Chains A and B, each alone.
Chain A
């Protein structure tokens, strides 16, 4: 059974890229969100196996959203997608409960490698 993924990023461009990467890895992208608010709602609705979360987003940041999702579901697997130079933000996100992170620009194999590890399938 393919693992279910929720993709969160405010840029359609990024979401598409990420979706394609997951598709190539045999995952099933079951939902998308464009900001922290939607992310929390979609998570509730979809209960994905894995969530990729952008950090800088309008309305609610990825960090806030991570915090709220973890509150709902302590086992949520959330991978932060950050840009270089956002170290402290990523660490905040890790504090808030993020499981791992990837740094943009990222390549498909790196993303999938991180995902495999985080899901314990290495």
Chain B
């Protein structure tokens, strides 16, 4: 038989199997804390599902491994005490291996080898149950990824040979005639015991069964020599009735049915090779549906969500354009148009909100992975760490979630690796032996605040400043002017170097610059608070959505650019000529500090408008502290739909996106810290 082509199910297999494996991991983690029967049962179900799907897809390695996990979980069901640390570790390892294999399958790559792992699992199963592992049946299937599954015993075909030997009516006072019936289970049947049980049940529905050979217990156990079952059936249904009943049972041939005395050996009719075999394998090709209905929720492809967001964004821009055009109309025509546009805008805004809400995903998508990571890291580093997560049900736009996953993981890793001290150091400091890392998520008006806090060794502002100066990233003057809070941000400068530096100086590992960039790229901010010896807290303030931003439009030379209003800390006015200078850099006073001034037009390499007198200065953050940005004019505020830049513009430092104003003019949106760093 030709293998079945299962390629079109690959995507669904990968997403479902991954979900099951994730759930399996979660249950395992919970199980480590508290062993309950429900969790073990749930784990069994998940492994079982993965096994079933994988075998249908012809993925033998995955099916076998999942089968082994299933066996292992099954063997501790009866006595949870058997769930030792070794068994749990083995299950974790197996879950990871399965995830890797599923990933490989989705990429069309061969599965990573898991023979060692299988041996470990086999040993555990054998020692717990005394049994050798049963074989795992796998479909002979083909997936676009070349995975020729070895030929396995083909699933039973519906062979039926039936001969019914008539029964001589018994000389008994009973009305119901008695028939001797012999039935054979097709040799291709994989579960003869069950098949036999079914036959028995069906025939019992016709009348009373006598003289069952082999006996029922033997039948159920599958101990059926030659697959032959003999019995006498007392029934009013007649031979025809018995034949009909058996005809409706698959994998079974009625050998003889006759009135009680000796069976006639009638030649079994040729097995009607099912015409259905000619049907061959797969269903007619159907275009892949973009949605699947599951109960009252719907699965939607993420590409579709992205498309929706884009389309709605375009709608908003188009609406703004109409409004602009309307402004140029003669006065009498304006009111009706304005009303219409107002209504249109309201509808589009509503649609936009709905689309955004569909894209909203709870943070738990990321935070669910943290406990496992925390466990692994703390085991590897021999640190005792307790991780608590609160508020993970709070939702953010999908795109933000995607960008946050790695940074959050990184912050966690850092907290455990570098923040929390080894047990003896903690004892010296009179801290509890178990370090605490807390991840808290909460809503604050239009922001989501994520805090990662540890009670570890904290950061040393002074050392950070010194190191930055030594690396030439900061002048001694500038360093002196920094507040502690600003000094902590120095840990996010690229180039925090060797491991020896790391723990001592910054209290954090490398990669903090990537974290800060990721947070800022979604329109958020990162703050660090720390107290040496007490601990550190990272605070991420994130917008709920990425797509719509509030911009401050400014003019620099002939250019108009947009700056995210949230990043503008203050607006000052001063006469440029009258500013004091430090060497060549003009300084402007703001509160109690003096901020370095940068001329935006110069940063953008556009000819500045020559001007005298007072001009606006925008106070903004940079990597090395606050700065003042000199612009020519403030043009106003506008809520716009941010659009990402594509190649090659996305490579230009300092541009974070582009948008189209209501006037139809496209403008760039600036990322000031990047612009200054460039």
The answer to whether residues A110 and B193 also contact, given A20-B283, A84-B137 and a CB cut-off of 8 A, is no
Considering the chains assembled together, what is the distance between the CA atoms of A118 and B202 in angstroms? 11
A74 to chain B, nearest CB (A): 11
Among B45, B51, B295, the residue within 8 A (CB) of A34 is B295
> Interface 1/0s, chain A 15-29, versus B by CB < 8 A?
011001101110000
Q: Quick check: A21 and B53 within 8 Å, CB to CB?
A: no
- Bound: A87/B220 CA distance, A: 8
Question: Do residues A56 and B48 form an inter-chain contact, with CB atoms below 8 A?
Answer: yes
Contact of B198 with A100 in the complex, beta carbons under 8 Å? yes
In the complex, B249 has a CB within 8 A of chain A: yes
Which residues on the A side are within 8 Å of B280 (C-beta)? 108-109
> A30 at the A/B interface (Cβ < 8 Å)?
no
Q: Any chain A CB within 8 A of the CB of B12?
A: yes
Q: Which B residues, 141 to 200, have Cβ-Cβ distances below 8 Å to chain A?
A: 141, 154-158, 160, 190-191, 193-194, 197-198
Contact B9 A108 (CB under 8 A): no
Size of interface on A: residues with Cβ below 8 Å to B = 46
* With known contacts A11-B16, A13-B16, A84-B137, A122–B248 Cβ distance under 8 A: yes
Contact present for A24 and B279 (CB under 8 Å): yes
With a cutoff of 8 Å between Cβ atoms, the chain B residues found around residue A70 in the complex are none
Are B13 and A13 in contact, CB atoms less than 8 angstroms apart?
yes
Interface residue ranges of A72-122 to B (CB < 8 Å) = 83-85, 87, 90-91, 94-95, 100-110, 112-114, 116-120, 122
Given A84-B190, A101-B198, answer yes or no on A114-B134 (Cβ-Cβ < 8 Å): no
Tell me which of A107, A114, A118 has the highest count of chain B C-beta atoms within 10 A of its own C-beta.
A107
Q: Given the complex, which residues of B lie within 8 Å of A46, measured CB to CB?
A: none
Tell me the complex Cα distance, A22–B1, Å.
20
Classify the interface of chain B: helix, strand, loop or mixed.
mixed
Given the contacts A95-B201, A101-B198, A109 and B157 also touching, CB distance less than 8 Å: yes
Query: B247: CB under 8 A from chain A?
Result: yes
Query: Any chain A CB within 8 A of the CB of B659?
Result: no
Question: Would you call B9 and A16 a contact (CB within 8 A)?
Answer: yes
Q: Does B250 contact A118, Cβ atoms closer than 8 Å?
A: yes
Instruction: Specify which chain B residues have a CB less than 8 angstroms from the CB of A101 in the assembled complex.
Output: 194, 198
Docked complex Cα distance between A94 and B196 (Å): 11
**Given A91-B220, A109-B276, are A83 and B160 also a contact pair (CB < 8 Å)?**
no
* Minimum C-beta distance from B573 to chain A (A): 62
Chain B contacts with A in 234-277, Cβ cutoff 8 A: 244, 247-250, 272, 274, 276-277
Q: Taking the complex as formed, is A68 at the interface, i.e. its CB lies under 8 A from any CB of chain B? A: no
Minimal Cβ-Cβ distance residue in B for A114? B250
Q: Is there contact, CB below 8 Å, between B250 and A16?
A: no
Task: Provide the residues of chain B in CB contact with A58, threshold 8 Å.
Answer: 42, 45
- Does B523 touch A at the CB level, under 8 Å? no
Residues of A within 8 A of B279 (CB): 24-25, 108-109, 112
Residues of B with C-beta under 8 A to A100: 198, 249-250
Considering the complex, give the chain B residue whose CB is closest to the CB of A107: B155
Is B49 engaged at the interface, CB distance under 8 Å to the other chain?
Answer: yes
B284 within 8 A of A: yes
Residues of A within 8 Å of B244, CB to CB, are: 120
In angstroms, Cα B158 to Cα A118, docked, is 11
List residues of B whose CB falls within 8 A of some A CB: 1, 4, 9, 12-13, 16-17, 42, 44-45, 48-49, 51-53, 55-56, 134, 137-139, 141, 154-158, 160, 190-191, 193-194, 197-198, 201, 220, 222, 244, 247-250, 272, 274, 276-277, 279-284, 286, 292-295, 299
Question: What are the 10 A-B residue pairs with the smallest beta carbon separation, nearest first?
Answer: A20-B283, A113-B158, A105-B139, A24-B283, A114-B250, A105-B56, A109-B276, A105-B55, A110-B155, A113-B274
Residues of A at the B interface (CB closer than 8 Å) are 10-14, 16-17, 20-21, 23-25, 32, 34, 38, 56-58, 83-85, 87, 90-91, 94-95, 100-110, 112-114, 116-120, 122
Sampled A-B contacts (9; CB under 8 Å): A13-B56, A17-B9, A25-B276, A83-B52, A84-B190, A105-B52, A105-B56, A109-B157, A113-B276
